[in-house]
Structure 1
Amino acid sequence: MSAKLSDAERDRYMRHLMLPQVGEKGQIRLKESSILVVGTGGLGSPVLLYLASAGIGRIGIIDDDIVDISNLQRQIIHSSISIGDSKVDSASNRLKELNPEIIIETYDYRLNVDNALEIISKFDLVVDGTDNFETRYIINDACEILNKTWVFGSIHRFDGQVSVFNHRGGPNYRDLFPQAPPPELAPNCAEAGVLGVLPGLVGSIQANEALKIILDIGEPLSGKLLTIDALSMQIRSLSYIKDPKRQKITELSEEAISCAVTGNQDGDGSANFEFRYEDILPTEFKSRTSAGWKPFFLDVRTEIEERIVSLPNTSLRISIEQIPSNIELIPRDRDIVVYCKSGKRSISVVQFLEKSGLKGDNLYNLVGGIHLWSDTVDSSVIKYGSA
């Protein structure tokens, strides 16, 4: 690839050339760079469109899916005439129309432990446009082995997250998420739904981070998790650090990926996680609070359930699937008691919170939830639905 811009490229990228932080030198840097985008869905769509528009010289696209009519509400790189086509072909055709000066490489299959190292090694940077934890752990581990930076993004209903991992020795995905949350805490778009514009917001930020990294300008979101609430338009930045006890990934292992996703760890000195949280009966909770104990009382049910009934002195309600993106709202300097309708969701949340770094000695699961509270503490509390 030529280390200069043609007259047509100067015209195309004129607004970049006017920026002191980019200029012709920066635009050539973009032209000589390569980025792999994993997934061509809601996040991958804006990422690909903006990277192609910006003049990234070589873009890789990997996805094994086909375009479905239900995708078009948010996956803006595809169109009605692409329904039934492979997503990589649909995306490639759109990008070639948008910018014929760049090179598009397509991989019409899923990224896995067998092909990740070979594919990722061909690119300078990786952008995550996936919707599952297994692929994210594969991206993360491969990037650590290859010393590649990757840009993370996730969406759920009205909430989004963005971060940059493995950048110049910075923290990686396993430092922030040592293990995936249980499926009920993190349903995908097909299960939970998503506001159509949210992937556009999150994906645009991911593309911005990718361009900053390639151009070496600004401050990337390394060691920071950006959270976006599209309903309130609150945007927060949470800091995190490398886990000094975590061993560096040196081998891409199906077993290691499976352990991270399922939470079952063994071998190589990585023992099963030993939880320290406690179960607490409603009667004991009532007795201790009457004696002056003032824990943070967290309700993890839905808003509809909250309208039916809530327990007295509830501190906050965060529905179970919103816990990962709102974990900063949960204090780390107090005892925390988590409750739900019957105790099933609350135990998943308590375990997730402890795995996420909250002290197990401060975490309590209210056994039996509202139903057992009604049976043993206050019968006026309404029992609803099945256990």
Structure 2
Amino acid sequence: MPLAPLVAPGPPLSPDELARYARHLTLPGVGPEGQRRIRNAKVLLVGAGGLGAPILQYLVAAGLGELTVIDDDRVESSNLQRQVIHREADVGLTKVDSAVQAARRLDAGARITPIRGQLTPDNALELFAAHDLVIDGTDNFATRYLSNDAAELSGTPLVWGTIFQFSGQVSVFTPGHGPMLRDLFPEMPDADSVPSCAEGGVFGALCGVVGATMATEALKLICGVGEPLIGRLWCYDAAAAHTMTLELETDPDREPVRELGEYHQVCAAPPATVQELEVSELAAVQAGATVQLVDVRESWEREVVAIPGSIHVPLDRVLAEGWAALPDAPEGRVTVLVCKTGARSQRAASALLAADAQATVLNLAGGTLRWASEVRGKVLDY
């Protein structure tokens, strides 16, 4: 559905701006007035990763007035495959500092505010109210639902997107103008119900397609041009080169959001039924003859780093076959599960305990990355 422009026009464009944004000025529906709206807009970008990277590039290149970027992470080498604003030289920097540098490379006069931290119930409403539009480029359910609820409470339009493996989705949630996220999915799913991008992977160039689509939706809202994805879910399958758009409806029986909740619970610590084993304790445990150390990563990951004495059983096999996937039966044995950081091995351990609650199953905290750092003195990332 077409909407009125979200942002009022700013001051007249300077001669330099007229030259720089000439291709917008001749564009039907944008023109000089639309470009003045873009120059007058304030946008909050949540996340400076795979989706945040192309969003930032296209918004800054378009001449956005003010951009605030919030992220609490640092650049790692494994980010470089898809997070195109970060370079090899940026590894170790905070992502927001790297984002500022990337924005200034595009436009030395870009007005960009970095916030090193997370979006939380304590700061979300204030941040949303201070901006014309919010774009959620994060990769976890907790922040997505927090963003949705803060948008509904503050009346701030929200551009939403998600990616996984070869697929991506984009929608626009505008309070009072169509459905919100909770109309589609009233409750947050369990934290381990969908694998993370680290576990399932993501096709690098997919981030560019989905992120650029999100930036496009933001600029359409700002200028009041075209039909934003309000009440629609745009779906892209990169593997099949296929797109489709689903119609969404508001749930008339849904209770409106009245306050922000406890979103961190979806990312809570592992259940108490799975005991964590510290890396410093592993050698002593391995000294026992009845211990099996099971690495549930993929084969190529073991070529990067593998703990001596570990046996390889991929997570998919553990989840599908349970104890039958392991070479030794659980009776009288201690089974230690390990992966890259402890997330996948946590799922494997939970599955094994669900099949035999009396078995002794431990999860190596921090996984092979922490083991490499503490035992080998080598900081790795892949």
**Is 2:244 the counterpart of 1:212?**
no
**Partner of residue 96, structure 1:** 104
Residue correspondence of structure 1 range 345-356 to structure 2 within 5 A: none
Conserved? CA contact 1:137–1:260, under 8 Å: no
- How much has 1:189 moved relative to structure 2? 1.0
The one-character-per-residue Cα deviations of 1:258-296 (angstroms, maximum 9, x if unpaired) are 68889xxxxxxxxxxxxxxxxxxxxxxxxxxxxxxxxxx
Provide TM-score, normalisation by structure 1: 0.65
How far 1:120 sits from its partner (Å)? Answer: 1.5
Query: What one-letter code is carried by the residue in structure 1 that aligns with 2:144?
Result: R
In structure 1, what is the equivalent of residue 231 of structure 2? 223
| TM-superposed deviation, 1:118 | 1.3
Deviations 1:41-97 (A, max 9, x none): 000000010000011100010000000010000000111111100000000111012
Matches of 1:57 and 1:147, distance apart in 2: 21
The match for 1:27 is 35
Deviation, structure 1 residue 166: 2.3
Distance (Å, rounded) in 2 between the aligned partners of 1:230 and 1:183: 26
Equivalent residue of 1:60, what SS? strand
Q: Which of residues 112, 120, 125 is equivalent to 1:112?
A: 120
Q: In the TM superposition, what is the alpha-carbon distance from 1:100 to its structure 2 partner? A: 2.6
Contact 1:179 1:260 in 2 (8 A): no
Q: 2:149 aligned with 1:124, yes or no?
A: no
Conserved 8 A contact 2:135-2:159: yes
Where does 1:345-384 land on structure 2 (aligned, <5 Å)? none
Please state if 1:171 is matched with 2:207: no
- Please state whether the residue corresponding to 1:73 is helix, strand or coil: coil
Percent pairwise identity: 46
Report the equivalent of 2:68. Answer: 60
1:233 Cα offset (Å): 1.0
Tell me which amino acid in the other structure corresponds to 1:69: S
Shift of the alpha carbon at 1:137? 0.8
Whether contact under 8 Å (1:178, 1:260) holds in the other structure is no
The residue number in structure 1 matching 2:149 is 141
Asked whether the equivalents of residues 167 and 236 of structure 2 are also in contact (C-alpha less than 8 Å), the reply is: yes
Q: Which amino acid is the alignment partner of residue 55 of structure 1?
A: G
- Structure 2 residue aligned with 1:188, among 181, 196, 199? 196
Runs of 4+ residues over 4 Å off in structure 1? 258-262, 340-343
Give the C-alpha shift of residue 342 in structure 1: 7.3
Structure 1, gaps ≥5 residues long? 263-320, 322-339, 344-387
Question: What is the Cα deviation at residue 250 of structure 1?
Answer: 2.3
RMSD: 2.1
Secondary structure of the equivalent of 1:111? Answer: coil
Give the letter for the 2:244 counterpart.
R
Which residue in the other structure is 1:331 paired with? none
Alignment of structure 1 residues 240-255 onto 2, 5 Å? 240-254=248-262
Counterpart contact for 1:167–1:222, Cα < 8 Å: no
Aligned 8 A contact 1:149 1:168 in 2 = no
Q: 1:81 to 1:258 in 2, by over 3 A?
A: closer
Partner-residue secondary structure (3-state), 1:197 = helix
Question: 2-side partners of 1:11 and 1:26: how far apart?
Answer: 15
Matched position secondary structure for 1:242: coil
The two structures have a TM-score, normalised by structure 2, of 0.66
Contact 2:151 2:175 in 1 (8 A): no
